[in-house]
Amino acid sequence: MLIKFNFKYWQRVYYNNSLKLHSLDNPSICNTNQKFFYKDGNFHRENGPAIDYGNGYKNYYLNGKYYEEKEYWSIIKKIRFKAYL
């Protein structure tokens, strides 16, 4: 179950039952320009940047570990390939 909080500055903030930032399908924290994706309290996203600042600057993370964009997409391709086997 996800818990949703609304704050004045942030439009959406999602937590899991352990009160760790978490949302698999939508940004865990979001305002009009910025989006932050978390999984169990760590930056994480498997289909794009985990942090999108809305000004073109993006950061790519898997399970809390930062990757350069090219390395990130290489890892994602390997994960998706293994899923089809």
pLDDT digits (tens, 9 = 90+) for 6-61: 444 445 566 656 656 656 666 666 666 788 888 888 889 999 999 998 899 999 99
Contact 41, 22 (CB under 8 A): yes
Q: How far is CA 8 from each of CA 32, 33, 57, 70, rounded to the nearest angstrom?
A: 12, 14, 24, 36
pLDDT tens digit string along 47-69?
Answer: 999 999 889 999 999 999 999 99
How far is residue 36's CA from residue 49's CA, in Å, rounded to a whole number?
9
